[in-house]
Amino acid sequence: MNQIDSLPAEIRPPEANTVALVTGANSGIGFAIARQLLERGVSVWIGARDLGKGERSATELGPGAHAVQLDVTDEASVAAAVGQVGELDILVNNAGVNPGGDDIAGTSLDQLRAAYETNVFGLISVTQAFLPALTRSAHPRIVNISSGTGSLTWSSGPNPQFDRRVAKGGGLAYRSSKTAVNAVTVLTAESLGDAFKVNALAPGLRRTNLVAGMSVGGDPVEAATGAVRLALLPDDGPTGALWSWDGTRAPW
């Protein structure tokens, strides 16, 4: 796999009729990703557990946006979405949850199960279900939204991005699930080969529902720009890597 340290400055202009699916896209980073893909001429399916919210978001985004009911933890929902979406070129696995908990002593098994059910198993379920459609695409792209807090390198060494609580082992459920996402990303890339471009994005802390109640985080639009760069990589672009939102390579 291509081991470069930064993403290409230019993206590949999407061909006519390019189709993307963004899970968890009715708000936050997913919504911003959908908007930016639409602005580049990509038709986008807004995956949402609540179809009504998805439809309202699609209406707000305008022509080219379509809503599909998609609960990544429900196999029947995923299968139905495959039938509705049809052909697919870009899959952005954005849906994610943070069920809370703290360190190893302060996190319940239920919180761990909830994190893995959506962030890991749901991501794998959707990827597997849409793999036949992606394989038919001339430029298949998979973008997994991960987290810098899931980087083992950053977690085990000094990192000014993490506050003291996180650096001391907090956020076990969420962070370990994102470490698993990173592993799934690199193994999926190895399995599918260079015809696919499979990458993970560390979007940085953003003002989204994931951190509701916290007066922290940057604009989701900034993170979305990084995801769109990965979704529209040229055919000689990298695969099997974790990238920071600014286009620089992040450590596993």
How far apart CA 79 and CA 61 sit, in angstroms, is: 25
* Predicted local distance difference test score (pLDDT) of residue 217: 57
Q: How confident is the model at residue 12 (pLDDT cuts 50, 70, 90)?
A: confident
* Predicted local distance difference test score (pLDDT) of residue 210: 56
CATH code for the part of the protein at 19-250: 3.40.50.720
How far apart CA 140 and CA 90 sit, in angstroms, is: 6
HSE toward the beta carbon, residue 112, CA cutoff 13 A: 13
* Predicted local distance difference test score (pLDDT) of residue 13: 83
Name the active-site residue from 53, 116, 168, 178.
178
Q: Is the pLDDT of residue 103 over 50?
A: yes
Rounded average pLDDT over 101-122:
97
Rounded average pLDDT over 2-26:
85
Q: How confident is the model at residue 167 (pLDDT cuts 50, 70, 90)?
A: low
81 CB-contact burial (10 Å; exposed 0-12 / middle 13-18 / buried 19+): buried
Q: Is the pLDDT of residue 164 over 80?
A: no
Q: Is the pLDDT of residue 16 over 70?
A: yes
* Predicted local distance difference test score (pLDDT) of residue 42: 98
How far apart CA 119 and CA 94 sit, in angstroms, is: 9
* Predicted local distance difference test score (pLDDT) of residue 123: 98
How far apart CA 8 and CA 237 sit, in angstroms, is: 7
Indicate the pTM of the whole model.
Answer: 0.92
Quick one: CA dihedral 115, 116, 119, 122, positive or negative? negative
CA angle 164, 168, 172 (to 5 degrees): 115
Task: Report CA-CA distances (Å) from 235 to 1, 8, 209.
Answer: 13, 11, 34
Name the active-site residue from 116, 168, 174, 197.
174
Give the tens place of pLDDT for each residue, 171-228.
999 999 999 999 999 999 999 999 999 999 999 875 655 544 444 557 778 889 999 9
197 carries an active-site annotation: no
Q: How confident is the model at residue 4 (pLDDT cuts 50, 70, 90)?
A: confident
Report the candidate in 191, 48, 180, 174 with the shortest Cα–Cα distance to residue 121. Answer: 180
* Predicted local distance difference test score (pLDDT) of residue 135: 98
* Predicted local distance difference test score (pLDDT) of residue 215: 44
| Domain chopping of the chain, boundaries | 19-250
178 carries an active-site annotation: yes
Beta bridge partners of 189: none
> Could you tell me how far CA 69 lies from the centroid of its own chain?
17
13 CB-contact burial (10 Å; exposed 0-12 / middle 13-18 / buried 19+): exposed
The phi and psi torsions of 35 (rounded to 5 degrees) equal -60, -45
How far apart CA 231 and CA 33 sit, in angstroms, is: 10
* Predicted local distance difference test score (pLDDT) of residue 220: 78
Quick one: CA dihedral 103, 155, 166, 126, positive or negative? negative
Annotate 149-171 with three-state secondary structure: HHCHHHHCCCCCCCCHHHHCCCC
How far apart CA 122 and CA 54 sit, in angstroms, is: 18
How far apart CA 227 and CA 210 sit, in angstroms, is: 18
Q: Is the pLDDT of residue 1 over 50?
A: yes
